[in-house]
Amino acid sequence: MTSSPGPGGPASGGRTGPVVIGVDSSTQSTKAAVVDVDSGALLALGRAPHTVTGTDGARRTDPELWWRALASAVADGLRSAGVPARAVSGIAVAGQQHGLVVLDRAGRPLHDALLWNDTGSAPQARALTEELGADGWLARTGVLPVASMTATKWQWLREHEPRVAEAAAAVRLPHDFLTERLCGTAVTDPGDASGTCWYSTADGGYDPVLLELTGMDEKLLSPVAPGGGDRAGVLTAAAAAELGLPAGIPVAVGTGDNMAAAVGLGLGRAGLLDHPVVSLGTSGTVFAASRTRPAVPEVAGFASADGAYLPLGCTLNCTLAVDKVAQLLGLDRERAELGGGPVLLPYLDGERTPDLPHATGLLTGLRHATTSGQLLGAAYEGAVFTVLRALDALLAACRLDPAAQDTAALPLRLVGGGARGRTWVETVRRLSGRPLVLPEATELVALGAAALAGSAVSGTDPVTVATSWNLGRGRELPPLERDMETWRRIDSVLDAAAGPLLG
């Protein structure tokens, strides 16, 4: 467990001004950002790891581990910041999207959570899609029931663990589970709810037709609050004792991780499209705030934390896939040679965009002269190509022509762990041909959650809070000439292989 103090951290001389805590409960770990309410300065970042289990596409975690990790990360952050617990004025949780958490009447998990990247429910996703047709799903929810979505995991549970499903007294998303532990209130927000396949972005509530189709009783689900920065309640005495925080402080409704990152970047005052973002992490995501409600199969038409729209494309294989290839080759990640000729489609865990849940990785174009550095470079290029192809689909869904000159000039905000890697940045520049902005803030999910907590404390709109903190500022990089030769080479391989070989 490590801590990362930021400006105004331990060296600030034991400051005792008000702070908020923004929690990022992700796939691999929990991070707790201790943030100065007035300035938005990140005083420290507490961390605690998670354990993910499962083979052959299964990805599971015991939800109780998330709660223990939250307590550890909060304690770690406060200790590193040198901030007394009494200074904490509010808390909010942003969590990994889509996961299925099934609880008994006492609020205890009946089963390990099925995570967003668990692809075991791909057959259930196909069956649900056939029930209504793609157009029917898109018209209601703005998304298709791919294996990532919560409703498909519920269908898997009903078929494979019927006794667990029948015993369920509550069904929660990961961030809902933690928020309820904090304040005792079952609540979610439009952003995270829109990734369940139960919530209608057209109507702004759970869809009774979809609930009936999946055998879900709405009483089992968390009610949807208008926005993630609303108050869910206050920290209970029991939770306060476990976390070492003051009882009675406001707890925000919270949201999903991508929605929180958008808040942290100050997205939400959009016209047709606001600041497209490329996030390079365990998964690769592209998203933007929009007033256009997307309803196309290539892009998830999510709601934002405030109930507007956050169209998003997601690839399962991003930094972890490149790290795996580097490990197999025995190379440092920065030893890649780009543009070398081989093509590597890094679908090591199936894929979501494009929808290939049973895909495996594919390597082609080898020659005697091929080097290990070129193979690693091909892994970078394959991952970035997939992310940027999802970006093109997102732009089109927002009624923009990806090839148009004004659209091509839109700068990309590059965030996530990969944004700190030289080879990742250069690969995005070369394959996109776009200017980049590299925000200085590196923990945008946790900082977005902190802005939600600040909103719950002050009643100010969370995007306004984040904008006042200026979290979106960063270094600007001019565009490079786009490498269309590499793009076309990868594109042709994907088109040829996207049938039986990968599906």
Q: Answer left, alpha or beta for residue 330, where phi above 0 means left and psi between -120 and 50 means alpha.
A: left
Q: Phi, psi at residue 72, to the nearest 5°?
A: -65, -40
CA angle at residue 17 from 13 to 18, to 5 degrees?
A: 140
Share of the chain above pLDDT 70, in %: 94
Measured distance CA(234)–CA(156) in Å, rounded: 35
**Domains of the chain: residue spans and CATH:** 10-253 (3.30.420.40), 271-439+473-503 (3.30.420.40)
Q: Are 89 and 457 in contact (CB under 8 A)?
A: yes
Q: Are 379 and 321 in contact (CB under 8 A)?
A: yes
Structure confidence at residue 16 as a pLDDT band (50, 70, 90)? low
Query: What is the pTM (predicted TM-score) of this model?
Result: 0.85
Buried b (16+ CB within 10 A) or exposed e, 152-183: bbbbbbbeeeeeebeebebbbbbbbbbbbbbb
pLDDT score, position 269: 57
Residue 12 has pLDDT above 50, yes or no: no
Place of tokens 């705030």: 289
Indicate if 257 belongs to the active site: yes
pLDDT score, position 63: 98
Q: Are 64 and 225 in contact (CB under 8 A)?
A: no
CA 49 to chain centre: 17
Q: How do residues 256-291 score in pLDDT, each as one tens digit?
A: 999 999 999 988 654 446 678 999 988 899 998 888
pLDDT score, position 340: 81
Who contacts 499 (Cβ-Cβ below 8 Å, separation ≥6)? none
Measured distance CA(87)–CA(78) in Å, rounded: 10
Q: Are 356 and 502 in contact (CB under 8 A)?
A: yes
Q: What value does the CA radius of gyration of the chain take, rounded to a whole number of Å?
A: 22
Who contacts 37 (Cβ-Cβ below 8 Å, separation ≥6)? 17, 18, 19, 20, 89, 454, 457
Residue 80 has pLDDT above 90, yes or no: yes
Residue from 207, 257, 306, 392 carrying the catalytic annotation: 257
DSSP labels for 250-296?
EEE--EEHHHHHHHHTT----SS-EEEEEEESSSEEEEEEBSS----
Average pLDDT across the chain, whole number: 91
More confident: 56 or 10? 56
CA angle at residue 271 from 447 to 253, to 5 degrees?
A: 35
Structure tokens at 382: 């394959």
Q: For the chain, give the number of residues.
A: 503
Cis peptide before 354 (omega within 30 of 0): yes
Q: Are 188 and 180 in contact (CB under 8 A)?
A: no
Measured distance CA(474)–CA(440) in Å, rounded: 5
Q: What is the DSSP letter of 419?
A: G
Q: Are 383 and 317 in contact (CB under 8 A)?
A: yes
Measured distance CA(319)–CA(25) in Å, rounded: 18
Who contacts 130 (Cβ-Cβ below 8 Å, separation ≥6)? none
Place of tokens 């663990």: 161
Task: Specify burial of residue 204 (Cβ count, 10 A radius: 0-12, 13-18, 19+).
Answer: middle
Average pLDDT over residues 54-82: 96
Q: Are 97 and 257 in contact (CB under 8 A)?
A: yes
Lowest mean pLDDT among 99-113, 433-447, 487-501: 487-501
415: helix, strand or coil? strand
Q: How do residues 140-193 score in pLDDT, each as one tens digit?
A: 999 999 999 999 999 999 999 999 999 999 999 999 999 999 999 999 999 999
CA angle at residue 62 from 57 to 66, to 5 degrees?
A: 115
pLDDT score, position 495: 84
